[in-house]
Amino acid sequence: MNVARSFNNWRKFRQTVNELGRMSTRELQDLGIDRADIRSVARASIAR
């Protein structure tokens, strides 16, 4: 169960990083996210 959870968390992290990375700087600013903060936002998405 722990391995499956870890894998799902990793997938969610990568998906979030990829989706935010494809956005323009303007789109990220509209969301209140700086490009340098993408990884920390992705980490926070796992904690939810």
pLDDT of residue 1: 64
Task: Give the CA distances from residue 36 to residues 7, 25, 47, in Å, rounded to whole numbers and listed in that order.
Answer: 24, 11, 19
Domain ranges of the chain: 3-45
Task: Give the CA distances from residue 14 to residues 8, 21, 38, 41, 43, in Å, rounded to whole numbers and listed in that order.
Answer: 10, 10, 11, 11, 10
In this predicted model, what pLDDT tens digit does every residue of 1-26 receive, in sequence order? Answer: 699 999 999 999 999 999 999 999 99
Q: Indicate the SS3 state at residue 34.
A: coil
Q: Is the pLDDT of residue 44 over 80?
A: yes
pTM across the whole model = 0.86
Give the length of the chain.
48
User: The tokens of 36 are what?
Assistant: 């340098």
